[in-house]
Amino acid sequence: MKKRKLGLAFTFLLAAGTILGACGTDKAKDTEKDTEKEDTTTAPEVNEGAISIAMVTDTGGVDDKSFNQSAWKGIQDYGKENGLEKGDGGYDYLTSTDMADYEANINRLAHRDFDLIYGIGFLLKDAIETVAQQNPETNFGLVDEESEVANVASIMFKEQEGAFLAGVAAARMTKSNKIGFVGGMEIPVIERFHAGFVDGVAAVNPDIKVDVQYTGNFDKAEDGKAAANRMYSSGVDIIFHAAGGTGNGVFSEAKERKAADKDAYVWVIGVDSDQYEEGKVGDENITLTSMLKRVDIAVKLTAELAAKGEFPGGTITTYGLADDGIELADSRGAIPDDILAEIETFKEKIVSEEIVVNKDPKAKK
């Protein structure tokens, strides 16, 4: 299969997105509060060359404050920048409440004649491929899984690289030498988070214990909360989650402990999106940092390529640290400058391939 890298274009869009984001912080916050809320400012003139795009979420929902929400932001950004409106002929999404909804939802969007339809998540592969083969004139995007179907563009990320940096941060910041990882389903994409995080911790101090638990889902905050409760109670002081909406429960547990004791040393490392807002506890914040997957930029870039007649169907585009598709969020002072400098050094070694991060937690190094 052909493999394709679009690092320069991706970095350009990332820089542009950062500038736009800095000019519209209030609007971004509004979007976080209500993903359905439409912009009331004057819309740009419709770009006649734009395409209609839509997405189907996994069971975490569009407002999971993580993976799906990041993808939806990219779709909204594309739509609004091209003067499109939410709905048929513009941009939209459908929520899956159960795995059985995947194929039905993708079919509904195909019947509504969207030009590009995304399946957000590893679990949507079979449904995307089935509908794509039935609708060869429609383009499809698949995030976090690979497909050889000619009208499906595969969007992948090197999660292990960002997770490694998160592991370095956790290893340097822990006081107990006990760190936790809460994963959703035990599937390759989450295992890449797991493997990279353990590698990063070991690179700093191989004697640190990493307590690992998979909840088996991405949409049950109560399971994430229970896992976090057990870990914090055992002495873990920093937890990295890669569990979508289930990870919201990790934040809930940490915030409750911080609210009960403002001197409690408990931290959460967020995932996919910057989860700083999720960590607020009065004047305190328990979000150490977040490992960002720029799904929003990748989704938007793929749509722009499709609009230009350059849709990367049948190819795999993989984003990592080298092309800014993966990064750590601003820690807002939670991580000291000397540790941030050390993290940057590790990043440079990964980019130069001096360090090759493990992506399988079961593999022996």
Per-residue model confidence (pLDDT) at position 60? 81
Q: Which of 338, 337, 326, 275 is nearest to 164 (CA)?
A: 326
Residues in the chain, total = 365
Please state, rounded to an integer, the average pLDDT across all residues of the chain.
89
Which residue type is seen at 94?
L
Neighbours of 134 (CB within 10 A): 11
pLDDT band at 1; cut points 50, 70, 90: very low
Per-residue model confidence (pLDDT) at position 45? 83
d(CA 286, CA 296): 25
pLDDT band at 208; cut points 50, 70, 90: very high
Per-residue model confidence (pLDDT) at position 20? 36
Residue, of 22 and 92, whose pLDDT is higher: 92
- The mean-pLDDT minimum among 37-41, 148-152, 271-275, 340-344 falls in 37-41
Which residue type is seen at 10?
F
Which residue type is seen at 79?
G
d(CA 267, CA 329): 15
CA-to-CA separations, 317 to 3, 4, 125, 313, in angstroms, rounded: 6, 5, 16, 10
Q: Which of 162, 78, 81 is nearest to 93 (CA)?
A: 78
Q: What is the mean pLDDT of residues 271-289?
A: 95
Q: What is the mean pLDDT of residues 173-186?
A: 97
pLDDT digits (tens, 9 = 90+) for 355-364: 999 999 988 6
Q: Which domains does the chain have, with CATH numbers?
A: 3-157+294-319 (3.40.50.2300), 159-285+326-351 (3.40.50.2300)
Per-residue model confidence (pLDDT) at position 25? 41
pLDDT band at 11; cut points 50, 70, 90: very low
Per-residue model confidence (pLDDT) at position 63? 87
Per-residue model confidence (pLDDT) at position 221? 96
Per-residue model confidence (pLDDT) at position 33? 44
* Structure token pair of residue 119: 């399946």
Per-residue model confidence (pLDDT) at position 194? 98
Is 35's pLDDT higher than 50?
no
Per-residue model confidence (pLDDT) at position 43? 57
pLDDT digits (tens, 9 = 90+) for 216-233: 999 899 999 999 999 999
